[in-house]
Structure 1
Amino acid sequence: MALSDLLSDPRTAIARRDLASLSREKTIVLALLIQLFVAAFSSFLVVGLTSLYDPSSVSGEVNVGVAGNASDDLVAVTEEMDGVEVVQLPSQQRAAEAFEAGGIRDTRIDALMVANREADGRINVTATAPKGSLRTTLIVVQIREVLERFERSERQQRVTHLTQRPVPVPDDVPASPYFGFTYTILIPLLMFLPPFISGSVAVDAITEEIERGTLELLRVSPVTLTDIVDGKSVAMASLAPLQALLWIALLGANGISVSHVPLLLVTVAAIATVVVVIGVTLGLVMGERKSAQLIYSVGVLGLFGSAVFLPEHPATTVAKLAVDSPTATTYALVALYAVFAVALYALARAFVTRVDVESL
């Protein structure tokens, strides 16, 4: 098809009309601006958001009161730990009083751990953290790390009593939580929000034409309902990969490199096509915006949740592509998404050809 024929095609005119009308939708513009802000300032936002994703990344000293007949063993494993200061107390009662009072002398007590050695040689550790506060999450994370180190230490000391040699535990590898957050949370979020918004806009694009009666006016012109649906679907589905490409460019400007960009765009385009087809179909079937939007939102969230039954969740696929560690399953799922999107779009067009326009 020549460029002039493409520009004069009624479906292209409908697509241009819908894209132009988006600039007047304040909700959509606000959603785009929020995504733009997240992508453009990702290197700054990731610092604060990582504290929610991994509280242990936030620096802060935690003072733990320790008591019990096995407290010496517990204190020994915390000597080389950063962020934990252990205060050994003479008795459980004294430890409980210090914890309730919030400290002893000039030392604050944030949490309490009581370690007692039982008659069979086992060590029972009871940890007590304060009620919900801004520091509670950090305290719980630090206590968990202490207990994990204590468990590993005890296993190593008692290895001679085992009848079978245990599997060696790999050494700790220092890693930044920002890397995991960026590639497993931030990038999938920026890749999946545009398709979800595109599908929601597609619902509005159809139901508003029906509710306002403008769909019948479009039918007066020499276009079919299939042309109208094609134009609206292409306009909405094309927004998502364009947004994703812009977000990837902004991430790159922030020093966050993203690999396999073409495959990521194919994945986003396929998912956008699927949700747009769902939105358009619901719009035609329901004919009313509120009901169609409700069913669309619940349905898409359910569909995304049910993706856990796939060999690899779409978010995992995006993360693996972005970090340049795809597997054969990753490539296969990208192809599957593309084929499924094309097949679903073909089914939707076949459905549209049988819809009675006068009944809408």
Structure 2
Amino acid sequence: MASLRSEKTIVLAILIQLLIAAFSSFLAVGLVSMYDPGSASNGFVVSFGVTGDASADLAPVLASDDSWEAEHYRTQRAAMRDFRSGRIHAVLAVDRTADGSVRVTAIAPDGNIKTTLVVTQIKEVLDKLERRERARFASRLERSPVAPPPETGASPYFGFTYTVLIPLLMFLPVFISGSVAVDTIAEEYDRGTLELLRVTPLTGVDIVDGKLLAMGILAPVQAAAWLVLLSFNGTNVANPLEIVALVAAFSVAIVAIGAILALRFRDRKQAQFLFSMAMLVVFSGTYLLPEAPANTVARLAIGSPTPFTHAMVALYLACSLAGYALVRRVVGGRGLLTTA
């Protein structure tokens, strides 16, 4: 335990996770506000300056929500004058085109602290206007278009927790484990302690096995701890065993990649740089799959996995075991653990 204090990577990882745990409530509110800015706009009334020959079409939309106020102007110049003076938050110029459709030009403040909230409210206004126009002219269509998604009143915390927070908490320990694995192997060369290990009855495969298993177990243990803490906080996570198995699969695979790089290059800085680049390539490449790992975790956590989701978990487990076997074969066959 005393030697662990000198490991900057481990200490920094622990401090980051303690910070997240200690300020989880504040972070959740702040991150959800970034994820869905409209969730932080309760009580904020946006004043719209409406102008144009089709402004009457927008009036029922603005009147449908108490957080919107409409002030009608005869000309856009008059609306812009009040916009620059701060009397209104945004300008909506609504005009009817020759083909009967509505064209809206929205003007929002630039560089203002309220810009994000105003833009979010403009988007909601335009979404409602689109739905209203669809319903209004549905009888003119020769065939039925694709129906827009139904409006829902679900809390943004639900979507953020299951699609962003839980996948993030599951994969963060995986990156940390891989990085620590690179450090522990590369530092054996830097400090010259590998010779002491080589004179023991342990083989090179035994030494690498110990490091791989220690780091490979670290991530699923942390992931399980996060799931337990989330359950104490009232967030129910379905299929926890399968999620932990998925994290274990990725942990073993990522640790195996880190071990190969550390054994091949032996220099800590070079191995860490190549490991970081490899992680960007690997996790970017997973989004080309029919179901990305983050989506797999979200489906499992929500409790709506498909047979394909279970198949992807099995595929990740198989790939991790193949990667682990490859590392053992390379170490045993090529003697990468020698210092010569």
Asked if these proteins are the same fold (TM beyond 0.5), I'd say: yes
Q: Cα deviation per residue 1:125-156 (whole Å; 9 max; x = unaligned)?
A: 11011112321111111101111111111121
Distance 1:56 1:66, change over 3 A: same
Instruction: Report the Cα offset of residue 61 of structure 1.
Output: 1.7
Alignment of 1:344 onto 2:323: yes
Show the 5 A alignment for 1:184-195. Answer: 184-195=163-174
Distance 1:357 1:235, change over 3 A: closer
Alignment of 1:30 onto 2:12: yes
- Whether the 8 Å contact between 1:42 and 1:254 is mirrored in structure 2 is no
**Any stretches of 5+ residues in structure 1 without a counterpart?**
1-18, 104-108
- Whether the 8 Å contact between 2:237 and 2:301 is mirrored in structure 1 is yes
Report the secondary structure of 1:115's partner residue: strand
Residue matched to 1:229: 208
- Whether the 8 Å contact between 2:330 and 2:336 is mirrored in structure 1 is no
User: Aligned partner of 2:34: which letter?
Assistant: L
**2:245 and 2:84 mapped to 1: Cα distance?**
58
Distance 1:165 1:263, change over 3 A: closer
Residue matched to 1:16: none
The farther-off stretch of 296-305 and 35-44 is 35-44
Pick aligned residue for 2:290 from 311, 319, 328: 311
Pick aligned residue for 1:86 from 70, 82, 101: 70
**2:306 and 2:24 mapped to 1: Cα distance?**
27
Distance 1:76 1:41, change over 3 A: same
Number of corresponding residues: 337
Give the TM-score normalised by the residue count of structure 1: 0.89
Residue matched to 1:5: none
User: Aligned partner of 1:55: which letter?
Assistant: P
Pick aligned residue for 1:58 from 31, 36, 40: 40
**Any stretches of 5+ residues in structure 2 without a counterpart?**
none
Instruction: Report the Cα offset of residue 309 of structure 1.
Output: 1.5
- Whether the 8 Å contact between 2:212 and 2:259 is mirrored in structure 1 is yes
Alignment of 1:217 onto 2:196: yes
Q: Cα deviation per residue 1:319-349 (whole Å; 9 max; x = unaligned)?
A: 1111111111110011111111111110110
Residue matched to 1:203: 182
Q: Cα deviation per residue 1:207-261 (whole Å; 9 max; x = unaligned)?
A: 1001111111210111111111011111111110111111111111111111111
Report the secondary structure of 1:133's partner residue: coil
Show the 5 A alignment for 1:132-147. Answer: 132-147=111-126
Pick aligned residue for 1:77 from 61, 64, 75: 61
Alignment of 1:264 onto 2:246: no
**2:290 and 2:190 mapped to 1: Cα distance?**
42
**2:254 and 2:201 mapped to 1: Cα distance?**
28
Instruction: Report the Cα offset of residue 165 of structure 1.
Output: 3.5
Report the secondary structure of 1:134's partner residue: coil
**2:106 and 2:203 mapped to 1: Cα distance?**
70
Instruction: Report the Cα offset of residue 122 of structure 1.
Output: 2.5
> Which structure's relative contact order is higher, taking Cα pairs within 8 Å and 6+ residues apart?
1
Alignment of 1:96 onto 2:75: no
Q: Cα deviation per residue 1:25-77 (whole Å; 9 max; x = unaligned)?
A: 24422322322443465444322210000101112221111111111111221
Report the secondary structure of 1:63's partner residue: strand
Give the TM-score normalised by the residue count of structure 2: 0.94
Distance 1:305 1:82, change over 3 A: farther
**2:228 and 2:261 mapped to 1: Cα distance?**
34
| TM-align CA RMSD | 1.7
Distance 1:246 1:255, change over 3 A: same
- Whether the 8 Å contact between 1:259 and 1:324 is mirrored in structure 2 is yes
**2:336 and 2:255 mapped to 1: Cα distance?**
21
Pick aligned residue for 1:355 from 331, 335, 338: 335
**1:200 and 1:268 mapped to 2: Cα distance?**
16
**1:180 and 1:251 mapped to 2: Cα distance?**
15
Show the 5 A alignment for 1:37-52. Answer: 37-39=19-21, 42-52=24-34
Report the secondary structure of 2:27's partner residue: helix
User: Aligned partner of 1:34: which letter?
Assistant: I
**1:170 and 1:26 mapped to 2: Cα distance?**
48
Q: Cα deviation per residue 1:276-335 (whole Å; 9 max; x = unaligned)?
A: 001111001001000000000110121011001112100111111111111111100111
Residue matched to 1:173: 152
